[in-house]
Structure 1
């Protein structure tokens, strides 16, 4: 697999395209790129002023990569060119992605009138760990019969929307941060993606559904949008949760309604956290779970035996951590091992489990007040390298911790290194591990930190972690650090 290097500041298009002799423009690298090639971008601005020719068409099987760990900060593609869409006429776009093309770790801006950052039409590419900002229309437009993967990106301050889907487009919109833009996600025509694990807040509206769109909407946090959290019009028919597959979305503090159905047809929205008084139209809500409020660390109960863990798979891990005063139960004598854990509660657990020696300056989180119950623990965990915040300077203490976030936190906090990506072959769902976490998950696997129940081969990286699961991971981390004796459990990977 050939890697072509590009540096807008020091490169030359008459160079060899090697690391020591890079090209100057992406356009030049594209002329030499074949399927399987990687185009590696150095920090800098790639624009018409630096010699780029727009739109940039990434061919089939080619990856354009910047820096995925920081979402492409400092690696900017800015420009626009004319593209005649087979289904949508003339467009002003920055990047066009062919089938199996990938765009990773790059910032994209289109300042042209009605400008689009990335256009995807009837292809199946991947857009991951990028930032789309200041586009005059939307960050990503997906149409035709496309089947796109839009993963782990940041969409901020785009005029019309973060993501628009039209045609019969499908695919997945997963783990993106979409804020302070027009509509967070806008679906039209017969588009039907999976929308899962996204943070959508501070936009005009969170999700707007029109035409005959039929998305599946799961485990998103949709709040503080100035109009509605989710609006359905026309003949759209979203699946926002069923009795067999609960929605798991959080709708909160949206300006007008959290959910609005203007279609006249009842929409299933079972198993979400919302305020039913902020719902308009025909919905089947089931038993509504109230939106979460901050929960202090549980009050310790005497002893180490909890009334609800005697038959639980994580009993040994929980009991041993309780004896070490790292975890505690509730006043009624229970531990609630299957309850989810917030980021604030996790910070409090870290403060008890590890010596949180400061390694860096504390981040000032704008959503963690000085009198917040876990403020001290959050500061310590942040300074020790266990926990970081989000690009918008928030910590989101009430948000549930995911399994992959826990593993990354533990590995980074203890500064464990040396994982081989081949170790991930033990997981049947390894394709779901986000790219920023592969090294850490590999390291955790080799150190026997990973504990998967009920199937060892299923990591479920994006799922919210439970109190029982985090107890197992923290205990195994102590074992890896030679601070606790090993436990014989069939669920340790």
Structure 2
């Protein structure tokens, strides 16, 4: 495909607008210009933009329905259930298949799924036709990790003829807490056609085409899901589709989002990373993008073709998107007839291609210089550790520009951070944990961390990926994975709460202490071994592990434990 345009280059001149504003003119091919406004020497950080101020007249409203509090529950369990009269009313006597439960469901019913595999072998008939007003619910907390719906069947679309789909989402339906895969040729997991479902807290993975397809005048709310390793797209919108796509993860797929036709979805606060292209926008689509993180994609962050004109921010309503570190271009406008206006985003100017009017809005830089995350101030105790790892893409913040340093870390998240940071070699054979499915988002990282002896499972064969990791487990993991030992285990007596260290952890904690992996805030002598580790603490521990491995420079800190 031939792309039109040229790289941005700085103009030779700028002119003074006022005592506190400078206007730089950037040349963008064919005589087009991009304006960069700088106020008081500072640049707008995306976390300062409020996406909620998007003008309502520019976005179609999303009308979605929730299951009523008094909705009747229908229970399904593929292992213990039976598709017969009298079943389904309790979890002790459930139906066996979703298909049978749907045949019995009335408007307002909630079909509650037990963990298990729902497929043709277990009695399912695809596609699953989710009746109007019905909720399909699994385990929202794990995003459906153990509730696997796999399969597909033919459905005749009013706008796209025959399709192979797993679930058809009708009006006022809800899909939540499930994992859905369509492994068939050109298979789609969920089909939305001129309806308004809520699709949330679920995982869409390994479908041959996409996770969710929205067509007609579809107006769904798609929120807090994981779209990973789908061969085509995470979400496709076509025709006059609208709706809201918020706070989802799109990773390791073809196009994270493919937005086509005349569709106008609101795309806000999503993580769109490590795909072939982040957001592909074509035909006459006019999506609104606000406060998304679009980075580390293998080709382009945002690519625009046809006569599409995305809204990446205006002076009245800045975009607040972080679009950086994509391999070819951060924004690639291959549309030869329209210019893209992109106000108030964090974009590498050298990676803008085509006709783009790039305007960076401004905020005051706080004393002490700019910070990478809005909730990590200049004097925060772990600021340097957090920013050092973030600069290497080992850890990341959230779409709203925050890092949430005091939030706990799960075992799955810890395994992912360790694997990214230390790239550990294999020391033992893989193991299949019974609570970590092969399509779980952190499966590969957990396997890598296990094989390198950074983490282990539990005696019952589980890994407990969603369990929050205590500080002592994090230190034991790093010491074991790095092969650290201590000649003097009495070094742990430095801690005033040493008696709280579990017996199994004394030797590795001693090693971590002697090799200066331990950072204790606010009191260096207090280990708090059994308290949940925070995101900031894990960042500090992992950074010190890199220092120990000779891959990072030491950072002075009064909270670093130097006892020997």
Which TM-score tier does this pair reach, normalised by the shorter chain?
Answer: 0.5 to 0.7
Checking the alignment, whether the CA contact within 8 Å between 1:120 and 1:146 is kept in structure 2 is yes
**CA deviation vs aligned residue, 1:155-184 (integer Å, no higher than 9, x gap):** 111111000000100000110000001100
Cα distance in 1 between the residues matched to 2:410 and 2:298: 39
Other-structure match for 2:207: 135
**CA deviation vs aligned residue, 1:337-381 (integer Å, no higher than 9, x gap):** xxx8742xx53xx49xxxx9x9989923147748xxxxxxxxxxx
Q: Secondary structure at the match of 2:262?
A: coil
The residue correspondences of 1:81-480 to structure 2 (distance < 5 A) are: 81-264=153-336, 265-287=338-360, 342-343=402-403, 346-347=404-405, 350=406, 363-364=414-415, 365-366=417-418, 369=421, 391=442
Q: State yes or no: 1:17 paired with 2:88.
A: yes
Q: Which residues of structure 2 form unaligned runs of 5+?
A: 1-70, 364-369, 384-399, 423-440, 447-467, 470-564
Cα distance in 2 between the residues matched to 1:219 and 1:192: 16
**What's the TM-score once normalised by structure 2's chain length?**
0.55
Q: Secondary structure at the match of 1:170?
A: coil
Other-structure match for 1:66: 138
Q: Which residues of structure 1 form unaligned runs of 5+?
A: 301-321, 328-339, 371-389, 395-411, 414-493
Cα distance in 1 between the residues matched to 2:110 and 2:133: 9
Task: Tell me by how many angstroms 1:297 deviates.
Answer: 6.5
Other-structure match for 1:483: none
Checking the alignment, whether the CA contact within 8 Å between 1:124 and 1:149 is kept in structure 2 is yes
Checking the alignment, whether the CA contact within 8 Å between 1:136 and 1:158 is kept in structure 2 is yes
Other-structure match for 1:47: 119
Cα distance in 2 between the residues matched to 1:141 and 1:23: 29
Cα distance in 1 between the residues matched to 2:375 and 2:83: 59
The alpha-carbon distance between structure 1 residues 171 and 341, as it changes in their structure 2 partners (threshold 3 A), is: closer
Checking the alignment, whether the CA contact within 8 Å between 2:412 and 2:442 is kept in structure 1 is no
Runs (4+) of structure 1 moved beyond 3 Å? 288-300, 358-362, 366-370, 390-394
More RCO (CA 8 Å, sep 6+) = 2
Task: Tell me by how many angstroms 1:42 deviates.
Answer: 0.2
Checking the alignment, whether the CA contact within 8 Å between 1:137 and 1:160 is kept in structure 2 is yes
The alpha-carbon distance between structure 1 residues 294 and 87, as it changes in their structure 2 partners (threshold 3 A), is: closer
**CA deviation vs aligned residue, 1:117-161 (integer Å, no higher than 9, x gap):** 000001111110110111000010000011011111101111110
The alpha-carbon distance between structure 1 residues 110 and 171, as it changes in their structure 2 partners (threshold 3 A), is: same
Task: Tell me by how many angstroms 1:20 deviates.
Answer: 1.7
**CA deviation vs aligned residue, 1:179-224 (integer Å, no higher than 9, x gap):** 0011000011111100000000110000000111000000000011
Cα distance in 2 between the residues matched to 1:254 and 1:78: 32
Checking the alignment, whether the CA contact within 8 Å between 1:273 and 1:292 is kept in structure 2 is no
Other-structure match for 1:428: none
Checking the alignment, whether the CA contact within 8 Å between 1:272 and 1:289 is kept in structure 2 is no
Q: Secondary structure at the match of 1:255?
A: coil
Give the RMSD, CA atoms, in angstroms. 3.2
Q: Secondary structure at the match of 2:313?
A: coil
Checking the alignment, whether the CA contact within 8 Å between 2:165 and 2:182 is kept in structure 1 is yes
Higher-Rg structure is 2
**What's the TM-score once normalised by structure 1's chain length?**
0.63
Cα distance in 2 between the residues matched to 1:212 and 1:141: 18
**CA deviation vs aligned residue, 1:440-464 (integer Å, no higher than 9, x gap):** xxxxxxxxxxxxxxxxxxxxxxxxx
